[in-house]
Amino acid sequence: MTDSTSAASAVWQVTELVSDGVGALAKRATENGRISVAALDEMQVVAYDLAHASAAVEGAKVMLSYAEHGEDEERLSYAFIADAISDIAARLIGRDREWQVDPATLATSHEFVTKYRSPEVLSAIADGLVRTGTGAPHLSDEFDMVRDTFHRFASDKIRPVAEHIHRKNEDIPEEIITGLAELGGFGLSVPEEYGGFAAGGDSDYLAMCVATEELSWGSLGAGGALITRPEILTRAIVKGGTEDQKRSWLPQIASGERVVGVMVTEPDFGSDVAGIKVSATPTDGGWLLNGVKTWCTFAGRADTLMVLARTDPDRSLGHRGLSVFVVDKEPAPGHHFSFADGRGGKMEGRAIDTLGYRGMHSFEVAFESWFVPAENLIGLDDGIGKGFYLQMEGFENGRLQTASRAIGVMQAAFEAGFNYAKERTVFGEPVFDYQLTKVKLARMAVLICAGRQFSYDVASKMARGEGALEASMVKAYVCRAAEWVTREAMQIHGGMGYAEEFPVSRYFVDARVLSIFEGADETLCLRVIARRLADQAITS
């Protein structure tokens, strides 16, 4: 049996096993023909494991196709598939009763997994890293140009100041914001008819992935997240805004004239968006905002805020009582701001100190009778009660973007670890020459390559109006991988990895946030991935 046949067989077997596990979970969580969230919550551990296992399976399927590009791609792909199966087996062993599957199903994949997890094969991959790196992207010349453009910007403008911003918790320099605007970075999702670059095809989502990865390679906090917030607001406006709103706001977002912050989370309500309490009550000529938002990234520098608020006081309506507003404010440097609206209303924000992801600053913001004109409700009267759906329009793509951010951070960490291993000598030998180092670096490259290809595949699906579930999967899987990759890159540096003289420590602390924002890993797995998989299982 050839390796390609063995790989395909292994992927098929693990797909069937995980599918059977999801089917068993769905059956136990079904009440009156529907999935019960309460019943699913009684099986959180197995639901969480199956969510991550399903994400690994989707990534393995993508890598089967990637392997068709050549021998180097085969080795990277098969090593990932073996790694994914090993991870699934580790989750399964000892919990096969909860999964209600037979672990012996994976036995026929043992020889394939053994070969491609062997130190010999992984060391050989490491020896070829100078040639292969983390794998050829295999995109068109158009996207190579996008990658080169944003990589050059990240190298020339972001990296030289990234460490200073992180160590001193400084603001992002204005030249980065204006420079990114000149590149068109804020208009990647804005339709062409409104001054942006989105043409409505695969290229829109792929360009966003490529640009986000390169900016994150420069710095997560000072580059990678800059285009996420305008992306979220743009998609909400495109989906639910009036024509006048689109023509007024979208060109300004695309040009960088409007710098966007997003306000969804509240102190008592994070992923449970339906429970938010910040209220918008009607008043003459508009609405009055009252309440507190938290984790409002870039709220200080932003002059435009996307605010999700409760417009219907009946809290039993949950997410159906929410609407989205575009709120204007003055940009404010530093870690605190306070404004009055001239009508008795106030808005005050304080930055929340964080261990990484610095530069954009995440704020807690309090509104006290802050006036918002009626025309700033997205969709006007037609937008009342549709806020949850409009913000989700951007958040699903935000999860894909977060995966790309993770890939950029991993790439930076991999390069740092690889270069240090080549240069540093320990016990008379380069660190790179030790088998354990080679295996670590090979696995880093494999995970980065798979994450990148997985994100491209999801981008293509989302361009066709599909892929919402897969966007959550790639976010969950890749962000967990980023924690391991950055940790091992830091470990390769030894004591210097713990020193603030090397940026690898920044990659490590930055990576930690990726499994928290844009949907905390546990909530994403339990309430989105596992639930949707269970829904599919009972309807198929």
pLDDT at 172: 95
Q: Output the pLDDT for position 405.
A: 96
Residue 225 has a pLDDT of 85
Per-residue pLDDT at 99? 96
Cβ 29 vs Cβ 40: under 8 Å: yes
Structure tokens given for 256 = 């960088």
Measure the CA–CA gap between 515 and 534, rounded to whole angstroms.
Answer: 23
The CATH number corresponding to 403-515 among 3.30.428.10, 1.20.120.640, 1.20.140.10, 3.20.20.70 equals 1.20.140.10
Cβ proximity of 485 and 512 under 8 Å: no
Q: How far apart are CA 528 and CA 443, in angstroms?
A: 28
Average pLDDT, the chain: 94
Start-to-end CA distance of the chain, whole Å, equals 33
pLDDT digits (tens, 9 = 90+) for 197-238: 888 777 888 999 999 999 999 999 999 888 888 989 999 999
Residue 271: per-residue pLDDT = 59
Long-range pairs, 92-98, Cβ under 8 A, ≥24: 92/17, 92/49, 92/53, 95/45, 95/46, 95/49, 98/43, 98/45, 98/46
- Dist. CA 276–CA 328, nearest whole Å: 21
Please check whether residue 212 is in contact with residue 349, taking contact to mean a CB–CB distance below 8 angstroms.
no
Calculate the alpha carbon distances from 489 to 89, 273, 416, 431, 516 in Å.
25, 36, 7, 12, 21
pLDDT above 90: percentage of residues in the chain: 85
Contact call for residues 323 and 264 (beta carbons, < 8 A)? no
Per-residue model confidence as pLDDT tens digits over 262-281: 999 888 765 566 678 899 99
Instruction: Count CB atoms within 10 A of the CB of residue 370.
Output: 26
The 3-class SS string of 279-293 reads: EEEEECCEEEEEEEE
Angle between helices 387-423 and 228-240 (to 10 degrees): 150
Domains 3-117 and 403-515 share a fold: yes
Burial of 265 by CB count in 10 Å (0-12 exposed, 13-18 middle, 19+ buried)? buried
Per-residue DSSP letters for 420-461? HHHH-EETTEEGGGSHHHHHHHHHHHHHHHHHHHHHHHHHHH
Distance CA 418, CA 176 (A): 28
**Helix, strand, or coil here: 173?**
coil
Of 77, 53, 79, 52, residue with least CA distance to 67: 77
Long-range contacts made by residues 106-109, C-beta under 8 angstroms, separation at least 24? 106/13, 106/14, 106/17, 108/9, 108/10, 108/13, 109/6, 109/9, 109/10, 109/13, 109/14, 109/85
Quickly state the pLDDT bin for 88 (edges 50, 70, 90).
very high
DSSP letters, 130-159, are HHHTT------HHHHHHHHHHHHHIIIIIH
pLDDT of residue 378: 97
Q: Out of 71-85, 252-266, 387-401, pick the least confident.
A: 387-401
Q: Is 518 a catalytic residue?
A: yes
pLDDT for residue 540 is more than 90: no
Among left, alpha and beta (phi > 0; psi -120 to 50; other), residue 310 is beta
CATH no., domain 3-117: 1.20.140
Q: What are the start-end ranges of the E strands in 329-397?
A: 336-340, 346-352, 362-373
Q: Residue holding tokens 């196709």?
A: 65
Q: Which helix (H) or strand (E) holds 463?
A: helix 435-463
The CATH number corresponding to 260-385 among 3.40.50.2300, 2.40.110.10, 2.40.340.10, 3.40.50.2000 equals 2.40.110.10
At residue 151, the pLDDT reads 97
| pTM, rounded to two decimals | 0.94
Measured distance CA(520)–CA(513) in Å, rounded: 9
List 260's β-bridge partners, or say none.
304
Q: From CA 121, how far away is CA 144, in angstroms rounded?
A: 30
Q: Would you list the domain boundaries of the chain?
A: 3-117, 141-255, 260-385, 403-515
Per CATH, the number for 141-255 is 1.10.540.10
Determine the residue type at 405: R
Q: Reply yes or no on whether the pLDDT at 485 is more than 80.
A: yes
**For position 393, what pLDDT does the model report?**
78
- What digits encode the pLDDT tens for the residues 244-266? 999 999 999 999 999 999 999 88
Residue 343 and residue 285 in contact, taking contact as beta carbons nearer than 8 Å: no
How does pLDDT run across 66-75, given as a tens digit for each residue? 999 999 999 9
Residue 43 CB-density burial (10 A; 0-12 exposed, 13-18 middle, 19+ buried): middle
Q: pLDDT for 139-176, tens place per residue?
A: 999 999 999 999 999 999 999 999 999 999 999 999 99
Is the torsion defined by CA of 163, 164, 170, 174 positive or negative? negative
pLDDT for 274: 66
